[in-house]
Structure 1
Amino acid sequence: MSSLTEGLNRILIWLDEHYTDIASSLSPGLSYGEITKKIGDLPFKLSREVYEIFQWRNGSNNSIFGGASLFSLNGSLTLYQDFKDYFLDSDIKAFPIFANEDSAEYYFAVCETLEELPIITIGFDEPEIIVKYTSLTNMILSIAEAYESKVFIHNERYGYIKIINPNLFQSIRYKYNPKNKVDLLYEKQLIIR
């Protein structure tokens, strides 16, 4: 089992123990062939990590971390087209995976032939690109440890998982995604051109 799937399963176990309704809102995963057929003729190849997350589960109806939900593959393809049209002068080589609808923040996996494929965020309101994680695996491992460290809580009033200890979350995030490495990936401008 890969570190990514192990981290995803740790999140699922935690959700199943604490918020069964959120855990049960995750749709069953797709096969490799189903993913390949659905993505059709994207102008770039999806990374192994992107295939792996959609094989694990194909979206959620609820927030699974910090207000963000996992897109279905169809939802990701639709949002990719929206962003492609939104950034007309850009050659987007990134694929949306998660979204925080409340803050209009979208998490994209960079899909280029690079040694490391970072996770970036882009907001529709303020189209600034921010490198958040060095890889999808490191993102998921950060979130799994954050759950186990009680960094998140389910906000019953608004119906999503929110961060209750931002300093601890930042510390965990940098454990898996060293700040200097995240900054270096941003400086290399690997993202949207």
Structure 2
Amino acid sequence: MSALTEALNRILHWLQQYSPNAISGFAPGLPLVEIETKLSQLPFRVSQEVYELYQCRNGNPYDGVFVYHRLLDLDGALEYAAAINKSYWREVREQDGDPQYLFPVLDFDGEYFAVPGGDASSPHTSVFHIGCDDGSLSLAFTSLTNMMLAIAECYETGIYTHINGDLEVADVVRFGEVRRKYNPDTVAALYADGW
């Protein structure tokens, strides 16, 4: 079992114990052939981690499971990818030295976590935070695997918890510390309050 699948299983195990209604929204994973067929329509390639993610689970409409975000189902991710990869946005990103193509996997009200696309698929790739106000990019995680490892640790240590029926980050400073532990050389903080 890969580290990504193991981290996802740790997250799902925690949710099963402490927030069963959040886990109930997870759709089963898709067959690799179906994922390959759908992703082949993109004008770019994504990392192998994206294929593995969608083999494990195909989305969850419940906001909050992954740092306030929900896992997009593959069809939804493809729709959002079409919108954020229009030529204007690609040109802006290229001028800023950012990846031209992005594939969003997590969403919260127009704010995304997305992996860059390229000419060839690689085993791992960075995860960028896309701001909802201005579309700005920040290097948030060094890979999907490291993102999920950080989130799993945050669940298991009480940093990310179930409060009054919602999943929330209980200690944003400690969340930031764990995120940077697994993801050195990423932005110091995703949000102004330190995490």
Q: Same fold (TM over 0.5)?
A: yes
Measure the CA separation in 2 of the matches of 1:148 and 1:172. Answer: 12
Are 2:144 and 1:140 equivalent residues in the alignment?
A: no
Aligned-pair distance for 1:93?
Answer: 2.4
Letter in structure 2 aligned against 1:151: I
Distance 1:97 1:62, change over 3 A: same
Q: Secondary structure at the match of 1:145?
A: helix
Q: 2:192 matched to which residue of 1?
A: none
Aligned-pair distance for 1:111?
Answer: 2.9
Letter in structure 1 aligned against 2:74: L
Q: 2:74 matched to which residue of 1?
A: 73
Contact 1:98/1:106, CA 8 A, preserved across alignment: yes
Distance 1:31 1:115, change over 3 A: closer
Are 2:115 and 1:109 equivalent residues in the alignment?
A: yes
Aligned-pair distance for 1:99?
Answer: 1.0
Can you give the 5+ residue segments of structure 2 that lack an aligned partner in the other structure?
95-99, 188-195
Measure the CA separation in 2 of the matches of 1:124 and 1:163. Answer: 19
User: Which consecutive aligned stretches of 4+ in structure 1 deviate over 6 angstroms post-superposition?
Assistant: none
Once the two structures are superposed, residues 4-51 of structure 1 have per-residue CA deviations (whole angstroms, 9 ceiling, x without a partner) of 000000000000000111111100000110101122321111211000
Can you give the 5+ residue segments of structure 1 that lack an aligned partner in the other structure?
184-193
Aligned-pair distance for 1:160?
Answer: 4.2
Q: 1:82 matched to which residue of 2?
A: 83
Contact 1:54/1:73, CA 8 A, preserved across alignment: yes
Distance 1:39 1:115, change over 3 A: closer
Q: 1:166 matched to which residue of 2?
A: 172
Once the two structures are superposed, residues 96-124 of structure 1 have per-residue CA deviations (whole angstroms, 9 ceiling, x without a partner) of 000122xx320001233568511001123
Are 2:139 and 1:131 equivalent residues in the alignment?
A: yes
- TM-score where L is the length of structure 2: 0.84
- TM-score where L is the length of structure 1: 0.84
- Give the RMSD, CA atoms, in angstroms: 1.9
Match of 1:182 among 147, 171, 186: 186
How many residue pairs get aligned? The number is 177
Distance 1:161 1:182, change over 3 A: same
Contact 1:119/1:135, CA 8 A, preserved across alignment: yes
Measure the CA separation in 2 of the matches of 1:152 and 1:18. Answer: 11
Measure the CA separation in 2 of the matches of 1:84 and 1:175. Answer: 31
Q: Secondary structure at the match of 2:42?
A: coil
Aligned-pair distance for 1:155?
Answer: 4.6
Measure the CA separation in 1 of the matches of 2:90 and 2:141. Answer: 25
- In percent, how many aligned pairs have the same letter? 36
